[in-house]
């Protein structure tokens, strides 16, 4: 009955109202565009950064898969038939061990013959040539070509030393291949220690049929993962597939628990929510000020008979128009940030290769949707005010000017992140890291003394330490030894595995009591697994690490290995009358407060067995006991539990020359790249792929890249949050001043000069911001301290914190001074009279 035919007049009113609010429109578009830009930027840069870093950290052979299932070709075919498996590619090992080329010293280089599908699924992209098509053809990575000093020329010949045969019968066989192609290495972050060379499956049948009998790794991609579980369900689902297809075991890099995943993804989600809230308040304030200024117009419209629904339509048309423009601008800018700045920044970091821009369409839809939702919700309250205010209320209306708690918190958060970024990034000390990870200038160590091997143990030659000593820049060489019980292997479904070096000993007294305690402890067993400790306890024949360390090195070793109970009597140690005990409870789960634990000063007798079962008993005093391990591992203890002087070790183990575990090297000045290469060359002449070289030069170059990465990411994050914090601050100051403009006009009318007005506003603003500043300094200090304690960083730097805090205070003060000056200028564009007349 009372239907309004009002579309045209409402459109006209909306147009008029829109064109009479030019500065509001500009500010609203800016606010919406900024919100959209930030949300889009976070989605494209922030979230893909997390998956990039995650991909980097979990980078392992088969980078495109979720894991591997061990089996035969039949297993692979069965897997492919399973609906839960998207693809399954076998990557056949052509040899039971890595390649033995001298150039690969310190690395594990594998000759593989994968299925054709493997390459595409695992990001192996050719940059030159083609894949191998016969058993004497190979493709190598760009990193391998660089290492070998090869130009990426197709058709070059390369000789590889392939271990043909199995187990003890493996023979190092030189074989010449034609390089038919080069690929971009997707495992760039581990390319210094691992690489892959590809040939065809026919290689195995032609040259190494022993490998054809073994189960191989089948890399699989699952398609039944629950996205909400963030890959924490991979292990279970792999096991299910393994059981259904008859596989013989699984392996995966996706071992993170839900808790760890939430820890990594949680901050990003919080960040997005934070931006959303900031956007909400930004846009809310813009519309609230606009409606407040127009409130009498709305009251007048109601007086002449405009309904709330009609006013709502007038406002919504404007809001839609502003939102569309703002969102379009924000999306374009967000695209630029996401696809130019984001990858550009990431390329400068060590994660560059793993950065993948997310699906642009999805990001745009999410960004636009979120921004539209934010704009609508934030305008809603103002809409309600405008549409439902009565004419009488409108005449009396005074806008609220309560301080924005959110602004205080948001600015405090921005400041805190800035302080943490400064301290973590700029405070990152490469020198500190070099000292942390290196006891001496360089160290050669044998992998078999800490890790299991796939091929028979090959000792370090006794001449190597002498050759190193002869180098002109070397000032000192120390050699550490470790006993190795023979036979040292176990047969498994994947072939023979050679265990880390352990000795066999008998114990009594305190040592025996402690080991028996571990053998009977469920907690110990569940942490370290059942390594046969109970059987060893029954027979009093224990498998423990026995190490021989030079007496003049032991103090430094203790300092690098952790915290020890007791003071080492160097004379007794050197004389072979005392030992250091490093318990097998390396993770300190049982602590040391159980009854019967070993203490410094305890006397004990240890029986040391040789390979023939002969035993030499030795009565010793336990001089020091490890109470807490150092996590950085620059010492030489490794899996050693009984630490003897090297003199005593040589007495007990006549085959000590075959048992060199570590060579510590001192140089005149800090070791240079050239010196590192010279030592590396000597090591390569060993033709022993079980050796690895670390040095201060190597750590320094790695940490340099890490520091650059931290700085770039840290400041990008601080920059984004800074924009949010500053926009909230500017927004709050502006809305506060505009809500008081009539009061301020009155003050000017009774004699307040512009300077006094500016000073008053500045004082109010600084007082308001002081809460934020106090919060940010306290939280920034605490968080900077906590974050920099993490092993990734190098500790809290108080001086740097003070400097960054001072810089931040300057920025805050500068913004407040500028904003208040600008607002006084803007306010005074209208005369006092015009402003006072606004109330009439």
Partner 1 sequence: MKILETKHLKKYYGQGSSLVKAVDDISISVEKGEFVAIVGTSGSGKTSLLNLLGGLDYADSGEVIIGGQSLLNMKDEERTVFRRRNIGFVFQNYNLVSMLDVYKNVILPIRLDGNKPDEEFIGKILSLLGLTEKVRNRPNQLSGGQQQRVAIARALASKPKIVLADEPTGNLDSRTSAEVMGLLQMTSREFNQTIIMITHNEEIAQLADRIIHLEDGRVVGGDIHVSEF
Of 20, 205, 749, 789, which lies in the binding site for partner 1, with binding defined by CB under 8 A? 749
Of 155, 487, 529, 751, which lies in the binding site for partner 1, with binding defined by CB under 8 A? 751
Please tell me whether residue 422 adopts helix, strand or coil conformation: helix
Tokens representing residue 440 in the block = 């001496």
Q: Which is nearer to partner 1, 398 or 782 (CB)?
A: 398
Residue 404 CA: distances (Å) to CA of 118, 281, 715, 728, 736: 56, 9, 27, 9, 9
- The span of 89-97, 281-289, 628-636, 738-746 binding partner 1 (CB under 8 A) equals 738-746
CA 23 to CA 25: how far, in whole Å? 5
- The span of 104-112, 340-348, 362-370, 750-758 binding partner 1 (CB under 8 A) equals 750-758
Residue 570 CA: distances (Å) to CA of 187, 619, 838: 46, 17, 90
47 binds partner 1, rule: CB under 8 A: no
Q: How far is the CB of 743 from partner 1 (least distance, A)?
A: 6
HSE at residue 215, side-chain half, CA atoms within 13 A, is 21
CA 664 to CA 550: how far, in whole Å? 11
Number of chain positions touching partner 1 (CB under 8 A): 19
Of 7, 753, 799, 829, which lies in the binding site for partner 1, with binding defined by CB under 8 A? 753
Q: Which is nearer to partner 1, 3 or 767 (CB)?
A: 767
In sequence order, which ranges of 740-797 are alpha helices (DSSP H)? 741-749, 754-789
395 binds partner 1, rule: CB under 8 A: no
Of 235, 244, 559, 746, which lies in the binding site for partner 1, with binding defined by CB under 8 A? 746
Element of type H or E holding 323 = helix 308-336
831 binds partner 1, rule: CB under 8 A: yes
φ/ψ region of 132 (left if φ > 0, alpha if ψ in -120 to 50, else beta) reads: beta
765 binds partner 1, rule: CB under 8 A: no
Q: Which is nearer to partner 1, 676 or 835 (CB)?
A: 835
Q: How far is the CB of 794 from partner 1 (least distance, A)?
A: 49
Task: Select from 199, 190, 185 the least CA-distant residue to 113.
Answer: 199
Q: How far is the CB of 811 from partner 1 (least distance, A)?
A: 28
Q: Which is nearer to partner 1, 53 or 769 (CB)?
A: 769
If you compute the radius of gyration of the chain from its CA atoms, what whole number of angstroms results? 35
836 binds partner 1, rule: CB under 8 A: yes
402 binds partner 1, rule: CB under 8 A: no
Report whether 187 contacts 194 (CB < 8 A): yes
825 binds partner 1, rule: CB under 8 A: no
Of 347, 403, 754, 825, which lies in the binding site for partner 1, with binding defined by CB under 8 A? 754
742 binds partner 1, rule: CB under 8 A: yes
492 binds partner 1, rule: CB under 8 A: no
Of 190, 316, 570, 747, which lies in the binding site for partner 1, with binding defined by CB under 8 A? 747
829 binds partner 1, rule: CB under 8 A: no
Q: How far is the CB of 840 from partner 1 (least distance, A)?
A: 8
396 binds partner 1, rule: CB under 8 A: no
**No. of helices (H) and no. of strands (E), the chain:** 29, 23
Q: How far is the CB of 742 from partner 1 (least distance, A)?
A: 7
CA 461 to CA 336: how far, in whole Å? 58
759 binds partner 1, rule: CB under 8 A: no
Q: Which is nearer to partner 1, 784 or 820 (CB)?
A: 820
403 binds partner 1, rule: CB under 8 A: no
Of 7, 22, 402, 755, which lies in the binding site for partner 1, with binding defined by CB under 8 A? 755
Q: What share of the chain is helix, strand, coil (3-state, %, to 5)?
A: 55, 20, 30
Q: Which is nearer to partner 1, 30 or 760 (CB)?
A: 760
In sequence order, which ranges of 613-740 are alpha helices (DSSP H)? 646-652, 673-684, 696-739
Of 641, 748, 765, 784, which lies in the binding site for partner 1, with binding defined by CB under 8 A? 748
CA 141 to CA 77: how far, in whole Å? 29
Task: Select from 482, 394, 396, 392 the least CA-distant residue to 446.
Answer: 482
Q: Which is nearer to partner 1, 11 or 401 (CB)?
A: 401
Name the β-bridge partners of 126: 183
Q: How far is the CB of 736 from partner 1 (least distance, A)?
A: 12
Residue 396 CA: distances (Å) to CA of 252, 300, 305, 381: 69, 13, 19, 19
Name the β-bridge partners of 174: 161
Q: How far is the CB of 824 from partner 1 (least distance, A)?
A: 12
- The span of 627-635, 724-732, 739-747, 777-785 binding partner 1 (CB under 8 A) equals 739-747
Q: How far is CA 277 from the centre of its chain?
A: 27
Contacts with partner 1 by CB under 8 A lie at: 742-743, 746-756, 831-833, 836, 839-840
């Amino acid at each position: 009955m009372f239907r309004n035919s009002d579309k045209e007049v409402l459109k006209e009113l909306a147009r008029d109202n829109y064109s009479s609010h030019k500065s509001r429109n500009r500010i609203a578009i800016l606010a919406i565009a900024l919100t959209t830009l930030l949300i889009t930027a976070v989605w494209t840069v922030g979230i893909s950064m997390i998956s990039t870093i995650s991909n980097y950290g979990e980078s392992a052979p088969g980078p495109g898969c979720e894991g591997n299932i061990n089996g035969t070709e039949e297993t692979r075919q069965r897997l492919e038939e399973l609906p839960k498996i998207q693809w399954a590619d076998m990557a056949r090992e052509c040899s039971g061990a890595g390649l033995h080329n001298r150039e690969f010293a310190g690395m594990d280089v594998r000759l593989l013959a994968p299925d054709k599908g493997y390459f595409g699924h695992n990001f192996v992209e050719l940059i030159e040539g083609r894949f191998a098509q016969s058993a004497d053809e190979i493709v190598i990575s760009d990193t391998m070509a660089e290492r070998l000093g090869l130009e990426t020329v197709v058709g070059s010949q390369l000789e590889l030393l392939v271990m043909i045969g199995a187990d003890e019968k493996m023979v190092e066989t030189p074989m010449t291949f034609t390089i038919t192609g080069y690929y971009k290495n997707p495992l760039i972050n581990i390319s210094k220690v691992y690489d892959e060379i590809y040939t065809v499956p026919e290689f195995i049948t032609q040259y190494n049929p022993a490998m054809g009998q073994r189960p191989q790794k089948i890399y699989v991609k699952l398609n039944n993962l629950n996205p909400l579980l963030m890959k924490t369900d991979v292990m279970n689902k792999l096991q299910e597939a393994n059981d259904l297809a008859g596989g013989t075991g699984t392996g995966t890099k996706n071992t993170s628990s839900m808790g760890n995943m939430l820890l990594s993804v949680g901050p990003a989600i919080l960040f997005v929510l934070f931006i959303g809230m900031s956007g909400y308040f930004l846009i809310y304030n813009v519309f609230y000020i606009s409606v407040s200024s127009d409130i009498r117009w709305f009251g007048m419209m109601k007086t002449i008979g405009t309904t709330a629904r009609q006013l709502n339509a007038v406002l919504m048309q404007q809001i839609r128009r502003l939102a569309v423009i703002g969102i379009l601008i924000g999306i374009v800018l967000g695209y630029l940030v996401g696809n130019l700045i984001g990858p550009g920044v990431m390329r400068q970091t060590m994660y560059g290769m793993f950065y993948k821009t997310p699906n642009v369409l999805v990001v745009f839809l999410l960004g636009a949707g979120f921004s539209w939702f934010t704009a609508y919700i934030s305008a809603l309250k103002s809409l309600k005010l405008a549409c439902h205010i009565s004419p009488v209320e409108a005449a009396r209306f005074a806008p609220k000017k309560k301080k924005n708690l959110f602004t205080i918190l948001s600015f405090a958060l921005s400041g805190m992140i800035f302080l943490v970024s400064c301290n973590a990034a700029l405070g990152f000390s490469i020198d500190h890291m070099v000292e942390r990870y290196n006891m001496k200038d360089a160290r050669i160590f044998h992998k078999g003394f800490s890790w299991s091997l796939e091929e028979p143990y090959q000792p370090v030659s006794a001449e190597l330490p002498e050759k190193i000593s002869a180098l002109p820049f070397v000032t000192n060489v120390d050699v550490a030894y470790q006993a190795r019980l023979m036979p040292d292997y176990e047969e498994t479904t994947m072939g023979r595995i050679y265990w880390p070096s352990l000795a066999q000993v008998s114990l009594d007294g305190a040592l025996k009591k402690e080991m028996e305690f571990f053998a009977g402890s469920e907690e110990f067993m569940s942490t370290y697994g059942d390594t046969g400790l109970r059987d060893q306890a029954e027979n009093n024949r224990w498998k423990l690490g026995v190490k021989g360390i030079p007496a003049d090195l032991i103090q430094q070793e203790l300092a690098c290995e952790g915290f020890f109970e007791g003071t080492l009597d160097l004379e007794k140690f050197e004389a072979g009358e005392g030992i250091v005990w490093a318990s097998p409870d390396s993770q300190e789960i049982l602590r040391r407060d159980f009854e019967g634990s070993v203490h410094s000063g305890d006397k004990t007798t240890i029986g040391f067995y040789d390979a023939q079962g002969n035993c030499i008993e030795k009565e010793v005093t336990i001089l020091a006991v490890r109470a807490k391990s150092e996590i950085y591992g620059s010492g030489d203890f490794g899996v050693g539990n009984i630490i003897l002087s090297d003199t005593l070790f040589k007495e007990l183990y006549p085959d000590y020359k075959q048992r060199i575990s570590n060579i510590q090297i001192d140089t005149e000045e800090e070791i240079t790249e050239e010196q590192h290469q010279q030592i590396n060359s000597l090591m390569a002449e060993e033709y022993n792929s079980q050796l690895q070289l670390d040095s201060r030069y190597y750590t320094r170059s790695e940490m340099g890249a890490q520091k650059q990465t931290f700085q770039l990411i840290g400041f990008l994050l601080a920059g984004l949050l800074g924009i949010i914090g500053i926009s909230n601050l500017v927004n709050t100051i502006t809305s506060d001043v505009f809500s008081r403009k009539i009061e301020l006009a009155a003050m000017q009318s009774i004699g307040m000069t512009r300077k006094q007005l500016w000073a008053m506003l500045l004082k109010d603003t600084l007082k308001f911001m002081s809460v934020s500043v106090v919060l940010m300094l306290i939280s920034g200090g605490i968080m900077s301290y906590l974050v920099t304690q993490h092993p990734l960083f190098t500790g809290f730097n108080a001086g740097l914190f003070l400097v960054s805090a001072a810089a931040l205070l300057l920025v805050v003060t500068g913004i407040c001074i500028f904003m208040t000056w600008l607002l006084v200028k803007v306010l005074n564009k209208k005369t006092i009279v015009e402003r006072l007349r606004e109330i009439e």
